[in-house]
Amino acid sequence: MDKLLIRGGRQLQGEVRISGAKNAALPELCAALLTDQPVVLENVPRLQDVATMLTLIRNMGVQVERGDDGTVRIDASRLSSPEAPYELVKTMRASVLALGPLLARFGEATVSLPGGCAIGSRPVDQHIKGMQAMGAEIVVEHGYMIARLPKGRERLHGAAIRTDMVTVTGTENFLMAATLAEGETVLENAAQEPEVTDLAEMLIAMGARIEGHGTSRIVVQGVEKLHGCTHRVVADRIEAGTFLCAVAATGGDVVLRHGRADHLEAVIEKLRDAGASVNAVDDGIHLHAQGRLAPQSFRTSEYPGFPTDMQAQFMVLNAIADGPSKVTETIFENRFMHVNELVRLGANIQVEGKFAVIEGVEKLSGATVMATDLRASASLVIAGLVAEGETLVDRIYHLDRGYDRMEEKLRGIGADIERVKS
Ligand SMILES: CC(=O)N[C@H]1[C@@H](OP(=O)(O)OP(=O)(O)OC[C@H]2O[C@@H](n3ccc(=O)[nH]c3=O)[C@H](O)[C@@H]2O)O[C@H](CO)[C@@H](O)[C@@H]1O
Ligand SMILES: C=C(OP(=O)(O)O)C(=O)O
């Protein structure tokens, strides 16, 4: 199992290229199932979840060609089995995104229930309720959602869907399903994340009729058929945010090429309040930071609030900041798995329910730590970059699930980090 060996204490300088967003590429690969014409996605990141999604759709009989330049060409003109099996879904919850497109185009789908994961229970009740409102019959049997259209019906129908909470993949599933449904679908309480907007733009390029994306009310007029398109995946705001935190923590001066400052406002505001200089530059984000930063309390919330996917990484800044802070996690019930490992590196953090209370310390010291989920892993890497001595981050398959060659990019800006095989 691969590990990352980090020798901390180096300042980071230079330029990093931000990849396409994992959380946009995954629904967009599923959106290619909505048409019998070829779809070309550009700027698809090289990471394990994308590889898993490609395996998932290939398993369905879909033709996939992947270029070295980040381009993926998908031809879903033929489909042998509309199924997302447990073996693949268990490693990647985003497989649930196959449900909407398969139901909308083929009238049936069998998708494994994703189950819980390290960050919380992550149910899919809202996905099921929404698809039922659009006319699907869904039974849950043997760990699978088995969905089909009633006898005699060829298409889903439009519906008014208001989810109990804002759900990102739920909104994406409904959006994709609604494009081919009969009539109008209105999504209330819709997710406004940039990845949802990017998906909507791709669907519009395929001939879908969508309005209101980027707001909490999205209206879709169903069409009979969608056509192929070429679409460029939006830049990964969480990858960019992770690098911003890394450079703010170590001190240094970096430009994140292709990073979108407009998608990271809540995080950038906190970085500025902490004392870093952060500015949007031509096609990128520039950050300069020096010395100990001021602690920042924050609570996670839906976009445009502070992203839960940045909570663990920002917590490292608080762990070494000059004073106390409080972090409140409102989206997932168990997303403080990094805390115990940060404490092993010398951080002073207490968790009580959804609150983490942090007392900044002057320095961290290297140790062997264990990654438990994707963003927890990223926070441990940042902590390792700051810590005195050597840090060995174990179980980095979590990191590989969602970051495109992270250690290579960090080495490119001066980090002392290497992958060790064992
Ligand atoms: C592939 C992808 O895009 N993943 C992102 C997506 O996950 P994902 O789409 O799975 O997260 P959701 O937005 O759906 O989850 C938000 C909250 O709603 C709850 N919920 C959701 C659906 C449902 O049917 N029932 C239910 O109770 C969840 O348990 C959670 O507490 O948004 C999360 C929140 O920004 C991010 O952390 C993930 O990185
Ligand atoms: C939680 C995340 O991803 P997923 O929803 O794929 O588990 C994430 O990207 O931080």
Q: Give the helix ranges, DSSP H, for 329-373.
A: 337-344
232 bridge partner residues: 42
Fill in the amino acid letter for 64: V
Closest ligand 1 atom, residue 23 Cα: 3
317 lines ligand 1 (CB under 6 A): no
Is 122 one of the annotated binding-site residues?
A: yes
Do you find a cis peptide bond into 304, omega within 30 degrees of 0? yes
- Nearest ligand to the CA of 196 is 1
Q: Please tell me what DSSP assigns to residue 302.
A: S
Q: How far is the CA of 37 from the centre of ligand 1 (A)?
A: 30
CATH number assigned to the domain with residue range 3-19+235-420, chosen from the 4 options 3.40.50.2000, 3.30.470.20, 3.65.10.10, 3.40.1160.10? 3.65.10.10
Q: Where in the chain is the domain with CATH 3.65.10.10?
A: 3-19+235-420, 22-232
168 lines ligand 1 (CB under 6 A): yes
Tokens 């992947």 -> residue: 66
375 lines ligand 2 (CB under 6 A): yes
Is 22 one of the annotated binding-site residues?
A: yes
Is 69 one of the annotated binding-site residues?
A: no
CA distance 136 to 154: 11
- Contact (CB, 8 A) for 71 and 42: yes
pTM: 0.98
Is 189 one of the annotated binding-site residues?
A: no
Q: Are strands 12-17 and 108-112 parallel, antiparallel or unpaired?
A: unpaired
Element (H, E) at 146: strand 144-148
For 156, phi then psi, to 5°, come to: -65, 165
The CA–CA distances, whole Å, from 173 to 104, 254, 256, 268, 405 equal: 10, 37, 31, 30, 29
93 lines ligand 2 (CB under 6 A): yes
Q: Give the helix ranges, DSSP H, for 305-421.
A: 311-319, 337-344, 374-386, 397-402, 406-412
CATH number of 22-232: 3.65.10.10
CA distance 259 to 237: 7
CA distance 82 to 52: 16
Q: Convert 24-44 into a string of H (helix), E (strand) and C (coil).
A: HHHHHHHHHHHCCCCEEEECC
Q: How far is the CA of 332 from the centre of ligand 1 (A)?
A: 8
CB atoms under 10 Å from CB of 297, counted, come to 14
Mention every residue, 6+ apart, whose C-beta is less than 8 A from residue 248: 271, 274, 276, 287, 289, 293, 317
407 lines ligand 2 (CB under 6 A): no
Fill in the amino acid letter for 94: A
CA distance 413 to 13: 5
Length of the chain: 422
Q: Per-residue confidence of the chain (422 residues) as pLDDT tens digits?
A: 899 999 999 999 999 999 999 999 999 999 999 999 999 999 999 999 999 999 999 999 999 999 999 999 999 999 999 999 999 888 899 999 999 999 999 999 999 998 767 888 889 999 999 999 999 999 999 999 999 999 999 999 999 999 999 999 999 999 999 999 999 999 999 999 999 999 999 999 999 999 999 999 999 999 999 999 999 999 999 999 999 999 999 999 999 999 999 999 999 999 999 999 999 999 999 999 999 999 999 999 999 999 999 999 999 999 999 999 999 999 999 999 999 999 999 999 999 999 999 999 999 999 999 999 999 999 999 999 999 999 999 999 999 999 999 999 999 999 999 999 97
Q: Please tell me what DSSP assigns to residue 77.
A: S
- Please tell me the residue having the least CA distance from ligand 2 atom 10: 309
Closest ligand 1 atom, residue 128 Cα: 24
Any idea which residues carry the catalytic annotation?
117
